[in-house]
Amino acid sequence: MSERINSIFSKIHKNYDAMNRIMSFGIDVRWRKIAAEKVIEGLGENSRILDIATGTGDLTLAIYDLAENSNKKIELYAMDMNEKMIEIARKKFGNRKINLMRGDALKMPYPDNFFDVVSVGFGARNFDDLKIFSDELMRVLKDGGFFVIIDMALPKKKYQRMFFKFYFQIIRLWGHFIDRESYEWLISSIEHFDFEKFKVILEKSGFENVRYDPLSFGITYVIVGKKGKMPIDKITG
């Protein structure tokens, strides 16, 4: 993550959750639950999970709570680049056993072949170099491990794209009265994120059975893939 993007997160950390609700019409809570379900469905016993770009911790908490409700024993890690976001996540986590630390997704502070699953919720589009991230993802995952990434992008269908572009223009105008740079960045990052290109990058890093599925008219996508031999239907449902 660049220093510019990191500084934007430092400015918006208190309003980050509210911004997510606004941009998604409040559906982002459901999106995270779907991503958490894909993580938990594919788990073996005593799996080690990393949630990258945890932000204020909502996806990490969704994974933790679902694992608890499913009686699955996990070792859960969460990482983010921005210290102010981590402070909020730490308060949300409370006494839950979650290993939270500051770290860069392009240079993760973890050993090779360490995690069974890696998740990313609405953070991938902020990474400066998706190829470096993809290679790092391959490095820290165990053979047979998999990833679940969820993020926002413009829908493919023309009428849906037109609707969201119009909606984003309204958000831009509103954002000018609050924090012009932050809202402009948030919308632009969605408009320029391309899951098809990201899929190709992941495949070039060596991931297998990479696929992405649209949610909510294609404004959000969940992408999954595996390292080594593991039945893909366990994580795609």
- Tokens representing 119? 């998740």
pLDDT in tens, 98-149: 999 999 999 999 999 999 999 999 999 989 999 999 999 999 999 999 999 9
If you compute the radius of gyration of the chain from its CA atoms, what whole number of angstroms results? 17
- How many domains are contained in the chain? 1
Residues 116 and 199: their CA atoms lie apart, in Å, by: 20
- What number of other Cβ atoms are within 10 A of residue 217's Cβ? 14
> Once rounded to an integer, what is the mean pLDDT over residues 143-169?
83
Q: What integer best gives the mean pLDDT of the chain? A: 86
Quote the pLDDT of residue 204. 96
pLDDT in tens, 173-185: 666 666 667 777 7
Higher pLDDT, 187 or 31: 31
Quote the pLDDT of residue 234. 45
52 occurs within a structural domain:
yes
> Once rounded to an integer, what is the mean pLDDT over residues 161-166?
74
CA atoms within 13 A on the CB side of 14: 3
pLDDT in tens, 27-42: 788 999 999 999 998 7
Helix runs in 75-154, H state only = 83-93, 130-140
168 occurs within a structural domain:
no
For residue 68, the surrounding DSSP H or E stretch is helix 58-69
Q: Is the pLDDT of residue 228 over 90?
A: no
Q: What's the predicted TM-score (pTM) here?
A: 0.87
CATH code (residue 139) = 3.40.50.150
Pairing of strands 220-226, 208-215: antiparallel
Q: What's the pLDDT band for 159 if we cut at 50, 70, 90? A: confident
Give the domain range for residue 7.
3-153+193-236
% of the chain beyond a pLDDT of 70: 82
163 occurs within a structural domain:
no
130 occurs within a structural domain:
yes
76 occurs within a structural domain:
yes
161 occurs within a structural domain:
no
122 occurs within a structural domain:
yes
- The DSSP annotation for 69-88 comes to HTT--EEEEEEES-HHHHHH
Quote the pLDDT of residue 42. 77
Amino acid at site 158? K
Residues 55 and 127: their CA atoms lie apart, in Å, by: 13
